[in-house]
Structure 1
Amino acid sequence: MHSIHVSREPTNMLLSSASTLPMFSLMTSLLVKGLEAATVVGTTPGCASCGIQPMEKDSEQRLLIEIAKQQILNKLHLKERPNITSTMPRAALLTALRKLHAGRVRPDGTIELEVKINDTKDQGYEIVSFAEMDEMDTTGAQPGLTFQFLQEQGHRIQVLQSALWLYVRSSDTPNSGPRPTATAHIYLSWPGESGSNRTLLLEKILDVQKSNWYTFPITHTLQAFMDGGQRLLQLEVTCIETGVAGVNGVSQNLCELGKSMDMAHQPFMVAQVRLRDDPKHILQKRSLRCGDDVTVCCKKDFYVKFKDIQWQDWIIAPEGYHINYCMGQCPQALAGSPGIASSFHATVFSQLKANGINTAVSSCCVPIQRRPLSMVYFNSKHSIVKTDVPDMIVESCGCT
């Protein structure tokens, strides 16, 4: 009897030695062929993906299909494919999909999975940047706040929401009238030919009866800054008491900035952002797909249809699996390029090479971006499971 179950277990648990041996031997076979090919073309035998020669098409397909099978079974913690002796009625399958929020059944009986908007590259994350402060100069200009934002090469950031946090101290001027207030002005500052230029971003009335943190929305400003590819965002801030004359008839600036500032009150900026596709970057990734005339590091596409390997009886969706892989040479100009190396292995070897330490390992063509594979399938207990298997599909390749 079929049952419905939503998988909550992590898919990156350690595998037993029994389940990893087949996969290990298969990958070893592929690496050995790569090393043999590397020897043929005269490349350094230390990175199987560099200079790899194409295998015979039938041999390559058989090997990749077996690798795909073992990878799926290992990721799903199955020792072997479930033995499904009966098919599920269409009505029961529809009910299961509704409860799993997994997708819909097409007229031909196949399953269409829901397209997830929030995949890995669309997930939002938060950036916090603390201000570096420039002291007030002899011209009387207000202390400047400098924020640094670094964008990874090849990626563009969409700012969902952003705010500047400032600590404003309470007014110490005797006031018998209404509640004391201050007017905050936030300026965008940039260097010009005749000193610094600035433009007013926003103005806000603050209640300064007691010291407190205040937020100032600057989403559009930060987005324009990011789109311009700049690294340093410079702001000027004033919080002048309203209608109150301080010492020498000059109103106080209640924004706690400069040397007298308590470091616990250092201004900071919080931004909720997400990566967005850069059309130029997309074209670049597409141009790195392997072809007859491509010898540098590239992505080799390979698609396995579950129906062709008789696995459609236990894998309900999707209809197949893209077992892409990386191959090709890594010229010295590409080795360790910023934004290319993404794995721990790549980071370690890049640091060793940067410090003049001979690693005896050549630069390798490796996956730099992967995405999960959403699956609906029968497990060994004939329960329907829906899960997102992480890091299954290679999206792009690069050199370590």
Structure 2
Amino acid sequence: MLGTVLLLLVLAEPACPSPAGASSQRAEALKRLLEVFGMEDPPPPPAHFKQPPQYMVDLFNTVANADGVTKNPDILEGNTVRSFLDKTHGERMRFLFVLSSVAKNEKILTAELHLFRLWPRVTDGPKRHHFCQVSIYQVLERSDPDAPGGKKLLAARLVSLQGSGWEVFAITQAVRDWTEDESSNQGLLVTVQGLGGSPLDSPPLQFASSRDHHESKKPMLVLFTDDGRRGASLPVAGFPGGSHMPWHGSLCATARLRSTRSLDRLQPCQRHPLSVDFEEIGWSGWIISPRGYNAYHCKGSCPFPLGENMRPTNHATVQSIINALKLSEGVSSPCCVPDKLYSINLLYFDDDENVVLKQYDDMVAGSCGCH
């Protein structure tokens, strides 16, 4: 978190010894900030205006507040949610999702097929059934999935013939197979049958397709994954609660370098705003939400004696006493650093224009203390 704050301070208040030097420093800071977000280069903005899937927007709003700060760290199963739209644009009940953007180190926790159920067809005569059976198959032989061994059943259940809306089917094992062997991804096949698996001449139930229906109703694959990335300094905390623990001394020494002006030394340790504007950085083309966030940073003095309002650790209290009484040479006073950190969430387009929700630990200073 401290390294991130220093990068943001550089971006917010760039040094200006020369235009070339300032430009080089900004470029290096942006490169390091991309590393914080687990990227080598920023994804290109979509070629044309794209509306993100409403499911992903709703999920972001459930997980995070308007600034992207996590409201509850336990909502997501992992730290990444990826959405993929169907790429077949052909047969109505065949679907194909290209998963090339899933990193090799990502662990697939859950995979869901989202299909939008259309209003049932109007049929002549009295309705015989209120439900039909929907089955999801993993295609093993693309040329002839109905041949023996041409497909494998993944999920099956009864679906109502009343109304319309989204239906979600778990297909986790198939997606794990595809990410391990990309060539095995031959797509999915969906069948609609009567009760007990009886055939239907004209299935009363249909799902929206990529070719014939609005963007908001297109078939979608949603992956809940975890890339193993975790904050290295403090445990992630939910907003506004969370735990705190002592800060490492080596980082404390670095943080002290940020506050050298006499005015800063006179002010007690406290949290100050640090605005991150993605449009100003040049990332607004691919980041959907938030448009920016307040990272905050800690600044101020930790004079002896340390009061409870400075949230000192026992170690900081002892260090303050040693420093005040000059009982040992080279022992400085405690410094003002974050003692509680929040995670933030980004909703963005990746390199393939898929919409991703990703959670990043230790991105917002929740409170400051003397350590």
Larger Rg: 1
Normalised to the residue count of structure 1, the TM-score between the two structures is 0.38
Q: Which has the higher strand share?
A: 1
